[in-house]
Structure 1
Amino acid sequence: MALMLTIVSITGSILLTPFLMLLVCIIFLASIGKSLGVRRLYVKTLLMIFEYGRKDIESSLKHRKKESLEDIDEGYSEEITSSEKLVNPPLTNGFVNGGRNNLISRDEGLIFVPEPPTTKTEEAIKEHKEKYKDFDLSNVFEYVKAGVEAIIEDQVTSRFEAEELKNWNLLIRTNRGYEFISWKLTFLWLGGFFIRYFFLFPLRLIICCFGVFWLTLCTALVGYVKPSDFKTMLNKYVSIMCFGILSRAISSVITYHNEENKPKNGICVANHTSPIDVLILMCDNCYSLIGQRHGGFLGIFQRALARASPHIWFERSETRDRSAVANRLREHVSNPKNPPILIFPEGTCINNTSVMQFKKGSFEVGSVIYPVAIKYDPRFGDAFWNSSRYSMVQYLYMMMTSWAIVCDVWYLPPMYQREDESAINFANRVKSVIAKQGGLVDLMWDGQLKRVKAKKEWKERQQEEFSRRLQAD
C-alpha cells in the first residue's frame, strides 16, 4: 500500500510540475506584455486540422451519397423485368403523376379556376377608375413582401442567435453528428475533447481565478496612491497587465490595427458582441467604464476599479435619468487627464454579424468620438453571449472550453459632430463607419426589440409613410 501511494505521488508530481511551470510562464509573460507566439501557432494548427476535417466530411458524404444511389438503382432494376415496360401517361394540366406523392391533398370540388374574361363597357370602366383612383393594388406589394420576409426570417431576432459556421470546428456543440461520420474525425474529436476539457479548461480556470484576485488587489493598492501623473501612469500599467493575464484565460489572440488612432481621451464607442469586449479592449489601453452599481463580489470588483481610476457607476434609479448620465459624462470628458470612457451604444449583445441602432445619449455630450470596430473569428469559438439562453457562468464555461477567442480590433480616426448634424444622425454616421470597417451589416433596428414590443410611434411612422406614398402616386 505504501509503495502504491509512493508511485501515485511520484507520478502526480511528474505530471503536475510541467503544468505548474506552464502556468507560471503564461502568467509571467502576460504580466510583462510579451508573447512567444505559441497561441498564434496553435491557431494556425487548428486551421489546418479544420481544413482536413472539412475535406474528410465532404469525401464521406460523397461516398455515402454514391452508395445510396447505387442501392436505389439496384432496387429499381429488380422491379423492372425484361418483359415489362413502364409507360408514364402524359401529364395534364393540374395533375402530377396522377396525384401520387403530393404533400398536400386537395378536394377537386374546392379547386378554384379563373373566370372567363368578360367585356365591360367604357362607362363601367370609367366608373371603376373614378372609385379607386387613389388606390392601386400594387401599392401594397412592397409591404406584403416585407411582411412575408419578416415572418420567414426578420432582421432582429436572427441577430440574437449564434452565427452559423460553413465548416465544422470539431466542437461538440453540433447536432449533425459530424464527429461520427468517419473513424478519423471521431479520433480527432475525442483528442480535442480531452485537450479542451482536461487540459485547457483547468489551466484557464486557474488563470482566471488568479487574474481576478490580482486585478482586485492591484487596483485596491493603486487607490492608496495620491492623485498625480504617477498614479495615472501606474493605473494604466496595472490595468493592461491584469487584463492581459485575464485574456489568457480564454486563449485570446487579438490583432490591433491602426494603433495611431487609439483613444487618448473623450468617448470611445464600439460594437457589442460579448461582455469580453471590455477585456479585449482593456488589454491594449486603459479605459473608464460606465454602468450600474452592483452588490456582492461584483460590487467589490467595481469599488476596487473605482479606487484606481475614475469610473462612473450609477444606482438603478439614476440610470433612468438621462440628464444625470449626460452630466456625469460631460464632467468626465471635460478633464483631459481622465482616461477615455468606453461605451457600447447598442445597449445589448449582437451576434457578431451586424451593428444595430446606437443610442444617442453618448453623442449628445459634444465630445470627440473614437470609433472602434471589433470582429471575432467564429471558427475557434462563438464569442456572442445570448443572455436570454445562457447565464454568465454558463457563458464563461463555454468560453473556457472553446478552442480560442480570435478577433480583430480596428481603431478608427476620431469623429466630431457637425454643426448642422443632430445627435441621431451623428450616431448613425459613426455606426456606419464601424459596420463598414468590421464587415458587419448596418441595421437601423433597436436591439432592445428582443426584450420589448415595437413602440407605437414606430408603427405610426410606417402608416404615415404608406399614406405619403399613396398620395404621391
Structure 2
Amino acid sequence: MSKMNTSSSELDLDRPNLEDYLPSGSIPEPHTQLKLCDLLDISPTLTEAAGAIIDDTFTRCFKSNPPEPWNFNIYLFPLWCMGVVVRYGFLFPLRVMVLAIGWIIFLSCYMPVHFLLKGHDKLRKKIERCLVELICCFFVASWTGVVKYHGPRPSIRPKQVFVANHTSMIDFIILEQMTAFAVIMQKHPGWVGLLQSTILESLGCIWFNRTEAKDREVVAKKLRDHVEGPDNNPLLIFPEGTCVNNHYTVMFKKGAFELGCTVCPVAVKYNKIFVDAFWNSRKQSFTTHLLQLMTSWAVVCDVWYLEPQKIKPGETPIEFAERVRDIISVRAGLKKVPWDGYLKYSRPSPKHRERKQQIFAEAMLRRLEDK
C-alpha cells in the first residue's frame, strides 16, 4: 500500500502544473488549479497554424525566388560589372531599337489594311493575323528569346480550344508568334488595354473583368460562339486565371472544358538560367516586367503542343480539367496544388473562418464538460 502511495506521489511530481511557475501566495485553490497539460488542448490548432505558415503552398505559387548571387568574391565581381555594362549599355539600346523598328513596320502596314480592306473581311483577317505574328516575333527578339517548339503547329479548325499553363503575359506573345490565337484575357489598363481594344480585337480576342460577376455569362456565350465559327482564329485560354511562378499549376477553371469541343493542351516551361519570366502583377507593372526581360541576357523557353483530348463518357468538366492539368504538369515538370488561383485576389471566406472558430469552440466546451 505504501509502495502504491509512493508511486502515486512520484507520478504527481512528474506532472507539470502551475505551482512550479507561480509566485508564492498566488497559487489558486485546488478545485480551480490549472495544470500545464490543460494548455495542450489548443495544440491541434497551434499545430495547424504553424503548419500553414511553414508549408504555405499557396503563397509559393505566386512567389518569385531570386537566383543566388554569384558575384560574391573579388574574382567574379568584375565579370558581373562587365555583364551589367553589356546588358544595359549595349543590349538594351539595341533591343529598344529593334522593337521600335518592329512597331514602325507593323503600324505602317496594319493601319492601311485595317481601314482600307473593311469590305474584304476574309483577306483583312488573314493579313492582320500575319502582322500580329510579325510584331510578336519582334517582341521575342527584343528579349533575345530562345524558344523551342515541340509538336505539330496548331491549325485552324472549328470546335477546338487550346489551353496552357500561365506564367506571364509573354506566354501569349510566345505562342502568338507561331500561331495567331484569339485569347481570353483579363482587361488591363494603360497601353496594354489600348492594344487589347484595338489591335488584338481584330483577332477575335475576348476580354473579361474578374470583379464583374455578370461578365461570366457574357464571356461564356462569346466562347461558345467563337468555337463554332469555322473561320475564327484558334481560341487560347489560360484556365488557371492568373500567373503562377512556373513551378506549380493551380486549379483549372472548368469554362474551357464544358464547351463540348476538343481541348488541345499546351505546356510552357521557362528556364531560369538567365531571367525569371514570372510576372508578379501585384508587385510590378507589365512595363517594368518587359524592361526586366529586355535587360537580361535571354529568355529561354520550351513549348509543347500535346495530343488533343476529348471528354470521356461519364466524365464531368471538372474531372476533364484535372486530367488535362495532369498532362500539362507532367510534360512541363510542374507540381500540382489544389488551390484556386482567384484566392490571390480575395480574402478568406467568412464562412471558412467561422467554421474554424466553431470547431475550436466545440473542442473547448467538450474539455470544460469533462472537467
Same fold (TM over 0.5): yes
Contact 1:220/1:305 (<8 A) preserved = no
Aligned residue number for residue 73 of structure 2: 181
Is the 8 Å Cα contact of residues 96 and 142 (structure 2) preserved in structure 1? yes
CA 299–216 in structure 1, closer or farther in 2 if over 3 Å, else same: farther
Shift of 1:231: 3.9
**2:326 corresponds to 1:426:** no
- Higher-Rg member (1/2): 1
> Do the aligned partners of 1:219 and 1:304 also contact (CA within 8 Å) in 2?
no
Shift of 1:209: 3.0
Provide the C-alpha distance between the structure 2 equivalents of 1:269 and 1:351, rounded to a whole number of angstroms: 17
Contact 2:180/2:203 (8 A) holds in 1? no
Query: Does structure 1 residue 115 correspond to structure 2 residue 15?
Result: yes
Q: 1:341 to 1:458 in 2, by over 3 A?
A: farther
Tell me the alpha carbon deviations over residues 300-321 of structure 1, each in whole angstroms, 9 at most, x when there is no partner.
4234425643222457886733
| TM-score, normalisation: structure 2 | 0.76
Find the aligned partners of 1:331 and 1:231 in 2 and give their Cα distance: 21
Residue by residue over 1:35-89, the C-alpha shift from the partner in whole angstroms, topping out at 9 and shown as x without a partner, is xxxxxxxxxxxxxxxxxxxxxxxxxxxxxxxxxxxxxxxxxxxxxxxxxxxxxxx
2:265 is aligned with 1:365: no
Does the aligned pair in 2 maintain the 1:376–1:407 contact within 8 Å?
yes
Counterpart in 1 of 2:179? Answer: 285
2:51 is matched with 149
Mapped to 2, the partners of 1:328 and 1:404 lie a distance apart of 37
Whole-angstrom distance in 2 between the partners of 1:179 and 1:374: 30
Aligned residue for 1:345, secondary structure, equals: coil
Structure 1 residues 128-158: Cα deviation after superposition (integer angstroms, max 9, x where no partner): xxxxxxxxx9xx97x8765433211300111
CA distance in 1, matches of 2:208, 2:105: 25
8 Å CA contact retained: 1:373, 1:434: yes
Q: What percent identity do the matched residue pairs reach?
A: 37
CA distance in 1, matches of 2:191, 2:176: 20
Q: What does residue range 145-294 of structure 1 map to in structure 2 within 5 Å? A: 147-163=49-65, 165=67, 168=68, 174=69, 178-183=70-75, 185-223=76-114, 224-225=116-117, 226-227=119-120, 229-259=122-152, 264-265=157-158, 266-292=160-186
Q: 1:316 to 1:186 in 2, by over 3 A?
A: closer
Report if aligned partners of 1:163, 1:378 keep a CA contact under 8 Å in 2. Answer: no
Describe the shift of the 1:459–1:275 C-alpha distance in structure 2 as closer, same or farther (beyond 3 A): same
Corresponding residue for 2:25? Answer: none
Q: Which residue of 1 is the match for residue 287 of structure 2?
A: 393
- Per-residue deviation at 1:212? 3.7
Q: State the distance in 1 between where 2:120 and 2:349 align.
A: 47
- 1:46 is matched with which residue? none
Q: Distance in 2 between matches of 1:299 and 1:267?
A: 24
Q: Does the 8 A contact of 1:263 with 1:370 survive in 2?
A: no
Kindly tell me: are residues 263 and 408 of structure 1, through their superposed partners in 2, closer, same or farther at Cα, counting changes over 3 Å? farther
- Supply the distance in 1 between the matched residues of 2:91 and 2:220 (Cα, whole angstroms): 43
RMSD: 3.3
SS at match of 2:168: coil
Alpha-carbon spacing, 1:196–1:319, altered in 2? closer, same or farther (3 Å):
farther
1:210–1:457: structure 2 CA closer, same or farther, 3 Å change rule? farther
The answer to whether the Cα contact below 8 Å between 2:106 and 2:135 also exists between their aligned partners in 1 is: yes
- Seen in structure 2, the aligned counterparts of structure 1 residues 262 and 377 have a Cα distance that, compared at 3 Å, is farther
Q: 1:325 Cα shift?
A: 0.9
SS in 1 for 2:57: coil
Match of 2:23 in 1: none
Tell me if the contact between 2:156 and 2:231 (Cα under 8 Å) persists in the aligned partners. no
SS of residue in 1 equivalent to 2:166: coil
Offset of 1:179 from its aligned partner? Answer: 1.8
What runs of 5+ residues in structure 2 fail to find an aligned partner?
Answer: 1-11, 17-39, 363-371
Q: Secondary structure at the match of 1:253?
A: strand
How far did residue 205 of structure 1 move? 1.6
Query: What is the aligned residue count?
Result: 323
Deviations 1:198-222 (A, max 9, x none): 0011111222233344444434333
Query: With structure 1 as the length reference, what TM-score do the two structures score?
Result: 0.61
| One-letter identity of the residue aligned with 1:361 | G
Partner secondary structure for residue 179 of structure 1: coil
Contact 1:219/1:308 (<8 A) preserved: no
Contact 1:271 1:434 in 2 (8 A): yes
